[in-house]
Each structure stands twice: as C-alpha cells, then as structure tokens.
Amino acid sequence: MSFTAKELLTKRGVKLTSQRLVITEYLMQTYEHPTADEILAAVAEKLPMALSRATVYNTLKTLVDAGVIREVLTEPGRTRYDANTSEHHHFVDVKSGRIVDIPQEMLPDIQKVLGDKYNVKSYTVTFYGDLNEDSK
C-alpha cells in the first residue's frame, strides 16, 4: 500500500524528471520537516547535474499543487515541507526545534464545533511545548 516516489508522481499526473524524483524521495524518507534550502542542500549532492534554487521552489510548488506533499507553517518566515499528506497536525518541541506529526485522530472532532456561521474547509493545529524524553 506504500507507493514509491515514481508511482506517486505518475499517479498524480506529475511528469517525471530526475529533480522531481530525488526531491520527492528525499521528503518521503525523512521525518523532519525541511525548508527549501535544507532540501536543496541535501539533494544537490545526490544529483549528477547541478540543481538550481528556482527548480527546488518550482518543484515544491508543483508537488504541493499535485497533493504529493504539503506546506507546514510553524514559525515566521520559513516554509517547511512534509511528504506526510494524511490529515495531521504538528507538535513543535521548543527546545530542539523538532517537529513531530500529530494524527488527526488524536484530537477531538473540532471540525464541527464552529456551527453554521463558519464553513470550515480545513484547519491546522500547531502545538508548542516539550517532548518528553522517550522521543522516537
């Protein structure tokens, strides 16, 4: 049930290029939530050719639009990216900066609590605090 990067891109109608593959693969195998610059640094060395910043940003936008990855906003001024596209939320460990996933099911159903004045299409919850030491 778990797709390869190649299968995922094909399934979502994204044309295959080596840049798109390696960026998608990188995001699928990390549990961190890297920024565009972090992705560029990590992925550049895996590619035989040069990788331009414009391509990283173009690719990330393409992947977000295609639903292959999502943006994560936890702090001002830096957009992070996440290959986990299931509905989930984030916990920021304020000491280490680590960002861990919180599945939708861990939260009570707040989709409906706002009543009919607000037509909620989506929502995000970001928690800030300390992660107790037994962190995976």
Partner DNA sequence: ACCCAATTTAGATTTAGTCTAAATACAGAC
Partner DNA sequence: GTCTGTATTTAGACTAAATCTAAATTGGGT
Judged by the rule CB under 5 A, the positions of this chain that interact with Zn ion are 82, 84, 101
Smallest distance from Zn ion to CB 49, Å = 30
Partner touching 84 among Zn ion, a copy of itself, DNA, none, CB below 5 to 8 Å by kind: Zn ion
Bridge partner residues of 92 (DSSP): 99, 128
Q: 45 CB contacts (<8 Å, ≥6 apart)? A: none
How far is Cα 87 from Cα 117, in angstroms, rounded to an integer?
23
Question: Is 59 a residue that touches DNA (CB under 7 A)?
Answer: yes
In residues, how long is the chain? Answer: 136
Nearer to Zn ion, 21 or 99 (CB): 99
The H or E element that residue 102 is part of is strand 99-103
45 binds DNA (CB under 7 A): no
In this chain, which stretch among 33-41, 87-95, 113-121, 125-133 interacts with DNA, using CB under 7 A? 33-41
Q: Nearer Cβ to DNA, position 6 or 135?
A: 6
Taking the least distance from each CB to a copy of itself, the nearer of 47 and 94 is 94
C-alpha separations of 69 from 20, 66, 108 in Å = 12, 8, 25
